[in-house]
Chain A
Amino acid sequence: MWVSKLRYETVIGLEVHVELKTKAKLWCGCSTQFGTEPNTQVCPVCLGLPGGLPLLNKKAVEFALTTGLALNCVLADHCRFDRKHYFYPDLPKGYQITQFYQPIGREGWLEVEFADGPRRVRIKEIHLEEEAGRTYHLPSGPDGVASSLLDYNRSGIPLLEIVTAPELSSPAEARIFLEELKAVLECLEVSDAKMEEGSFRCDANLSVRRPGEKLGKRVELKNLNSFRAIEAGLVYEEKRQRELLAQGEPLPYEEVRTWDEEKGITVYMREKEQAADYRYFPEPEIPPFAIAGEWVETLRTNLPELPLEKRRRYREEYRLSATDAALLSRRKAEANFFEATLQKYQGSAQTVANWILGELTRLMKEEKAEVTNLQFSAEDFAALLQLQDQKVISSKIAKAVLEEMFRTGTKPAVIIEERGWQQITDPNIIKTLVRETVVANPAAVQDYLGGKQKAFAFFAGDVMRKSKGRVNPELLNEILQAELERHRSVGNSGYQSDRQ
């Protein structure tokens, strides 16, 4: 059934779990590396063995504080932890160490550019906690019977939970917010923020209401494992709830639903616990400690330019297109390379952006390289673009030179010199080349004179082929045109007689 969008408001709030990319886990020295053999990065502490004690990794606190600063949070003056109790096999101690009574940051916001303009989305709180292990349920385990396997490599990896206020008004806004948040985290270098590796996860709460009414009953959506899934799941749930409301059947209770990627629907999981009693109490084994003001100030001073500021600067200062500004600012290493190139380059910023986002990105993808470990410097890159601008080489040759730089790290001028790739700009040489092809292809001349533009392209292509692309294209066009037109004015007889 058709439901007017105007009659309902959608309210979405997000809970984002971000794995912080510290080298060691939150309470022990075990590695946090992803994708290793199960249960190879464990010790008495992260296995929850009796007698193991948690030793706080200060780097994780630093990452949490940095994120809090970037999200404009009011930071706690003390770092404290609490225990949250529940039983699950992948939770080795029977409780999770988290920050319940005093989250490390609260009352923040993140400015996001939505379709209808920029807006601040309020962040209710951010808090530091530990990851649980992972459970794999097998329908048929080692003995052929259904079984569950546990991997504790993830157990104890620092996790930052970021909770937004219910202020997002559509699935698209939810996605845009999350993309901005991911970009911020990447820019701060506090997390890999990879949804596919589970280092960036999101649960979404969605409810609908008529404008002006109080918040409706909400549904918590789980299993949203990609940006696409988040948007699709929310779109489905939004439609489902609107239809229920339109039928006069608002949700009877709050529930948890899971997104079924294959079927494209949300499926009922359970009623939201009335009020699960997690029996929170202050963690007795980790003494609270004061967060020094100087520490916070140092972190504040070292905050990088955030993606939104950078995007705005790229648009306003460098006049980049909105898309390119967005793409470049999202990738910190590329953005740095972009700015380093601009330092040495006199041409337009858009040219640099085009080359980085186009040819360079293509090469890096093909060779699985990163901009941080290129064989050549931003200065070399600027020199290449400069040579192209000065018409020493054509854009086509420039691409070949870049490939060579990419492979060997040789300076562009050296490559061009060694290969003899300088552009041919001597009109006499070009004229000779043009004449050769014109004389050899009288039929095509007739075609051209008969008005077929394709014939012109044929001659131009032929010259380019024979010169290996080195002829300056503008000069070639000019000279070729003049030559062909000369045939028109000379008259057709000579050639016709030749043909007969």
Chain B
Amino acid sequence: MNVGALRKALDRREISAVELATYYLDRIAQLDPQLKAFITVPRAEVLQMAAAADRRIATQEDVTALTGIPVAIKDNICTEGIRTTCASRLLADFYPIYDATVVAKLKQAGAVLLGKTNLDEFAMGSTTKESFYGLTRNPWDRQRVAGGSSGGSAVAVAAGMAPLALGSDTGGSIRQPAAFCGVWGLKPTYGRVSRYGLVPYAPSFDQIGPMARSGWDLFLLFRGIAGYDPLDPTSLPASVEAEGDLSGSIRGLRVGLPREFFGAGLDGRIKERVLAVAKVLAEAGCELMELSLPSMAYALPAYYLLAYAEASSSMARYDGVRYGIREGAEQGIVGMMTATRQSLGLEVKRRILLGTYFLSADCYEECYQQAQKVRTWMKQDFAAAYSRCDLLLTPTTAAPAFRIEGEAEDEPVLALTEQYTVAANLTGNPALSFPCGWINHLPVGAQLMGPAGTDELLLRVAAVYTENAPGEAVPERTARDVGEQIEV
């Protein structure tokens, strides 16, 4: 059932929020031992929130679209009193003293926080293998990765363990697992969703976003979390439509197909699926055009440089002094900090080291400043493209979900999974991944990008595609259920 149907069932008292929460808790208990989408599921708190939602529904006071609806939260988003680990051993006992703004908003809307989902440690990775709490498996093929870093949220939604989930996206961390798992994921315009309470990885790229099984569900969650937040200095003053839907004509929209996203390295079958999306859009009245974004040649190196540089800085606060685990306390201040930081995983250490090097006096001008120039160029390059077209259609990833062992051990393959997604983070523009078909049993995702503030437009276009797409292309309209794969 989609969220709209759940809403109706709740409002008509056909089901209570407690019953709904219990259903998902049971589903988690059934499936998650194999999938490992969740790190923490605070059953008692979940049922309390659900009971509170039932009281709101009973009195019809302040019932919102999300009242009583369970939402899974990526475990790098702070939840007051509920453990927030960032999938790191270092924060194994970190219980935040405050709620992230998105969490506060969801609570205020009456949503039921279902649990904290798995991720690559501190969101640094694109597999959800780099978690201290165990790797998350792709529900469509358990030998394959879920993608990452929001792999836990993607799997929770894909496997029906949660109707909605929050992820975070620094270089593709919402869109890539969404594509791998056959769900919808939006990386909003930078600043439209508050980052207050999001544990930073690379703050000039990080953005919290919604994940769901349909465009409409995604839209509901986006409306629930977006909006200006005075606690976030990078928050945009733009308001969010409280009402409205995703219908409406997309006739006349100019959809660009940038050459750099369809070149070498792209799986031909994915190319085919995405071009099929273009065809459906053209039939719905969109005007297709090919164009070129030359700055894309430098997107990946610039992204790694800047993101790792910021990561090394973001990670400097974990010293064992104020929170998290503390080790080597008997070895003096430096000894303690060193020992404590030893508990970080290899991938995090690798990024800290590289980032530290990129910021060092020897390298700053050659590395960091050059990468900033690329970033500026990319913003201009994309702005120029958006003066010719309204939005861009690309694949989300170059290949479907790869095997857990083998295939993606080396950098190049991993990098390929990010090459189409980092542009939106470098430019701060919104990008949406939505399902557009299959390669055998593995889902394929298409990506729509647009200029800042076009988040809703992207959703609308993808929704029109989904309505007009052949049934087979859309997971929610197929008979397939991840349960089949799991129970085999």
- Please indicate whether A and B come from the same complex rather than being unrelated chains: yes
Asked whether, in the complex, the Cβ of B322 is within 8 Å of the Cβ of A55, the reply is no
Report the separation of the CA atoms of residues A287 and B317 in the bound assembly, to the nearest whole angstrom: 21
- Which residues of A are found within 8 Å of B231, using beta-carbon distances? 53, 55
Chain B window 7-27, contacts with chain A (Cβ cutoff 8 Å), 1 for yes, 0 for no: 000000000000000000000
Report the separation of the CA atoms of residues A279 and B195 in the bound assembly, to the nearest whole angstrom: 24
Asked whether, in the complex, the Cβ of B322 is within 8 Å of the Cβ of A92, the reply is yes
Report the separation of the CA atoms of residues A51 and B96 in the bound assembly, to the nearest whole angstrom: 10
- Residue of A whose beta carbon sits closest to that of B198: A51
Asked whether, in the complex, the Cβ of A281 is within 8 Å of the Cβ of B309, the reply is yes
CB distance from B226 to the nearest CB of A (A): 17
Asked whether, in the complex, the Cβ of B203 is within 8 Å of the Cβ of A48, the reply is no
- Which residues of B are found within 8 Å of A92, using beta-carbon distances? 317, 321-322
- Which residues of A are found within 8 Å of B97, using beta-carbon distances? 44, 49
- Residue of A whose beta carbon sits closest to that of B333: A89
Report the separation of the CA atoms of residues A83 and B364 in the bound assembly, to the nearest whole angstrom: 13
Answer whether residue A494 sits at the interface, using C-beta atoms and an 8 A cutoff: no
Asked whether, in the complex, the Cβ of A54 is within 8 Å of the Cβ of B317, the reply is no
A285-B203 in contact given A49-B97, A87-B319 (Cβ < 8 Å)? yes
- Which residues of A are found within 8 Å of B100, using beta-carbon distances? 51
- Which residues of A are found within 8 Å of B310, using beta-carbon distances? 284
Chain A window 74-98, contacts with chain B (Cβ cutoff 8 Å), 1 for yes, 0 for no: 0000000001010111001111000
CB distance from A61 to the nearest CB of B (A): 13
Question: Which of A88, A94, A95: most chain B Cβ within 10 A?
Answer: A94
- Which residues of A are found within 8 Å of B202, using beta-carbon distances? 284
Question: Which of A48, A50, A87, A95: most chain B Cβ within 10 A?
Answer: A50
Report the separation of the CA atoms of residues A85 and B361 in the bound assembly, to the nearest whole angstrom: 12
- Which residues of A are found within 8 Å of B96, using beta-carbon distances? 44, 49-51
- Which residues of A are found within 8 Å of B77, using beta-carbon distances? 51
Report the separation of the CA atoms of residues A49 and B94 in the bound assembly, to the nearest whole angstrom: 10
Answer whether residue B316 sits at the interface, using C-beta atoms and an 8 A cutoff: yes
CB distance from B201 to the nearest CB of A (A): 10
Asked whether, in the complex, the Cβ of B368 is within 8 Å of the Cβ of A281, the reply is yes
- Residue of A whose beta carbon sits closest to that of B310: A284
Query: A47-82: which residues lie under 8 A (CB-CB) from chain B?
Result: 47-56
Asked whether, in the complex, the Cβ of A148 is within 8 Å of the Cβ of B333, the reply is yes
A87-B316 in contact given A92-B322, A277-B360 (Cβ < 8 Å)? yes
Asked whether, in the complex, the Cβ of A94 is within 8 Å of the Cβ of B317, the reply is yes
- Which residues of B are found within 8 Å of A53, using beta-carbon distances? 195-196, 231-234
Query: A280-312: which residues lie under 8 A (CB-CB) from chain B?
Result: 280-281, 284-287
Answer whether residue A440 sits at the interface, using C-beta atoms and an 8 A cutoff: no
Interface size class of A (residues with CB under 8 A): 20 to 34
A51-B322 in contact given A87-B337, A281-B368, A287-B234 (Cβ < 8 Å)? no
Answer whether residue A1 sits at the interface, using C-beta atoms and an 8 A cutoff: no
Asked whether, in the complex, the Cβ of B317 is within 8 Å of the Cβ of A285, the reply is no
Answer whether residue B392 sits at the interface, using C-beta atoms and an 8 A cutoff: no
A284-B322 in contact given A87-B316, A279-B356 (Cβ < 8 Å)? no
Asked whether, in the complex, the Cβ of B199 is within 8 Å of the Cβ of A95, the reply is no
- Residue of A whose beta carbon sits closest to that of B205: A284
- Which residues of A are found within 8 Å of B315, using beta-carbon distances? 94
A51-B78 in contact given A44-B97, A93-B316, A94-B316 (Cβ < 8 Å)? yes
- Which residues of A are found within 8 Å of B317, using beta-carbon distances? 48, 50, 92-94
Answer whether residue A150 sits at the interface, using C-beta atoms and an 8 A cutoff: yes
Asked whether, in the complex, the Cβ of B203 is within 8 Å of the Cβ of A83, the reply is no
Report the separation of the CA atoms of residues A150 and B204 in the bound assembly, to the nearest whole angstrom: 31
Asked whether, in the complex, the Cβ of B321 is within 8 Å of the Cβ of A95, the reply is no
Asked whether, in the complex, the Cβ of A281 is within 8 Å of the Cβ of B313, the reply is yes
- Which residues of B are found within 8 Å of A281, using beta-carbon distances? 309, 313, 359, 364, 368
- Which residues of A are found within 8 Å of B195, using beta-carbon distances? 51, 53
Asked whether, in the complex, the Cβ of A55 is within 8 Å of the Cβ of B230, the reply is yes
Query: B286-331: which residues lie under 8 A (CB-CB) from chain A?
Result: 309-310, 312-313, 315-319, 321-323
- Which residues of B are found within 8 Å of A56, using beta-carbon distances? 233
Asked whether, in the complex, the Cβ of A89 is within 8 Å of the Cβ of B321, the reply is yes
Report the separation of the CA atoms of residues A150 and B317 in the bound assembly, to the nearest whole angstrom: 15
Report the separation of the CA atoms of residues A459 and B357 in the bound assembly, to the nearest whole angstrom: 91
Report the separation of the CA atoms of residues A14 and B299 in the bound assembly, to the nearest whole angstrom: 45
Answer whether residue A275 sits at the interface, using C-beta atoms and an 8 A cutoff: yes
Asked whether, in the complex, the Cβ of B360 is within 8 Å of the Cβ of A279, the reply is yes
- Which residues of B are found within 8 Å of A85, using beta-carbon distances? 313, 316, 359
A287-B233 in contact given A44-B97, A281-B309 (Cβ < 8 Å)? yes
Query: B414-462: which residues lie under 8 A (CB-CB) from chain A?
Result: none
CB distance from B449 to the nearest CB of A (A): 22
Query: A252-268: which residues lie under 8 A (CB-CB) from chain B?
Result: none
Asked whether, in the complex, the Cβ of A51 is within 8 Å of the Cβ of B199, the reply is yes
Asked whether, in the complex, the Cβ of B313 is within 8 Å of the Cβ of A51, the reply is no
CB distance from A426 to the nearest CB of B (A): 75
Asked whether, in the complex, the Cβ of B233 is within 8 Å of the Cβ of A95, the reply is no
Answer whether residue B86 sits at the interface, using C-beta atoms and an 8 A cutoff: yes
CB distance from A388 to the nearest CB of B (A): 59
CB distance from B416 to the nearest CB of A (A): 27
A284-B203 in contact given A49-B97, A95-B316 (Cβ < 8 Å)? yes
Besides A51-B78, A83-B313, 15 new A-B residue pairs in contact (Cβ under 8 A), listed by A number? A49-B96, A50-B91, A50-B94, A51-B198, A53-B231, A54-B233, A87-B334, A87-B337, A88-B333, A93-B317, A94-B317, A95-B316, A279-B356, A279-B360, A281-B364
Q: Give A contacts to B, CB under 8 Å.
A: 44, 47-56, 83, 85, 87-89, 92-95, 148, 150, 275, 277, 279-281, 284-287
8 A-B pairs with the lowest CB-CB distances in the bound complex, closest first: A94-B316, A284-B204, A279-B359, A50-B199, A51-B197, A89-B321, A94-B317, A51-B78
